[in-house]
Amino acid sequence: MQLKDKIVVVTGAGSGIGKALVMKFVAEGARAVVGVDINPETAKQTAADLGCVAMTADVTKEEDVIRIIEETERDIGPIDLFCSNAGIAIGASEQSPNEDWQLIWEVNVMSHVYAARHLVPRMIQRGGGYFLNTASAAGLLNQIGGAAYGTTKHAAVGFAEWLALTYAHQGIKVSLLCPQAVRTAMTANSDDDATKAASNDGMMDPDQLADIVVEHLQRETFLILTHEEVKVYMTRKTSDYDRWIGGMNRLLQRLTGQGS
């Protein structure tokens, strides 16, 4: 996909990866970019900084996702690319409260479902369309210190795979973004086990990530790995699960001092 003259929606656009994607898509000549965020002020700031259209929505609410789609297509035009990027990281373990597990499920998984539910029929009717779903390397591997994050990101990976294999013959294209550690508000000033584990290979700036995303969108590749070492970890995991789990447990002990 070439971004020039396309209409794009990006959720979670108030900061971090979302804001970097908006900036890159505008620079690539998109006809219009809609920057969506749950915080009205950050949505407006992104629009003021980058020249996109600001919208406010809570992606855990299906009616809000419907409104984003309907208002964009009514006021601007048919959506070519929908970037379901909003995400949160809560729920450290199985002991985390049900409310945390439910909220992260709704943000990290159901928001992708809602977007597809209401856009796929429209896109098929007009000959096709594109989804960029943000998951995480945690969805391919897992997340030390982040039970709910790793679990929901696995589900996000599974849904993106299903979406791609189900509608490919009807013109629906899907790319799945699975970064490792990115320098965002989610990771800033954090020294918890999840952040330590994810940043074990270093942090990437959002602008650098956005450049990689555009390169992959142009090639229309399904899996976008911004950190090449993740391929190695995936191979180790699938070739010998027991060894991989043992290695991850040793990493956990090293990061938390439990093994000393």
Q: What is the pLDDT of residues 180-211, one digit of tens each?
A: 988 876 655 455 666 666 566 678 999 999 99
Span 85-112, pLDDT tens digits: 999 999 999 999 999 999 999 999 999 9
Residue 67 is predicted with a pLDDT of: 98
Strand pairing partners for 172? 129
* Domains in the chain: boundaries: 7-256
Residue 258 is predicted with a pLDDT of: 82
Question: Which class would CATH give 7-256?
Answer: alpha beta
Rounded CA separation 232/229 (Å): 5
Residues annotated catalytic, as ranges: 149
Rounded CA separation 173/201 (Å): 31
Say what the pTM is.
0.93
Share of the chain above pLDDT 70, in %: 93
Strand pairing partners for 11? 36
Strand pairing partners for 32? 7
Measured CA distances, 214 to 6, 157, 207 (Å): 13, 19, 11
Q: What is the mean pLDDT of residues 38-49?
A: 97
Check pLDDT > 60 for residue 32: yes
Q: Write the burial class of residue 43 (CB in 10 Å: 0-12 exposed, 13-18 middle, 19+ buried).
A: buried
Q: Specify the range with the lowest mean pLDDT, choosing from 69-73, 119-123, 225-229.
A: 225-229
Q: What is the mean pLDDT of residues 71-77?
A: 98
Q: Specify the range with the lowest mean pLDDT, choosing from 94-108, 127-141, 171-185.
A: 171-185
Mean of the per-residue pLDDT values of the chain: 94
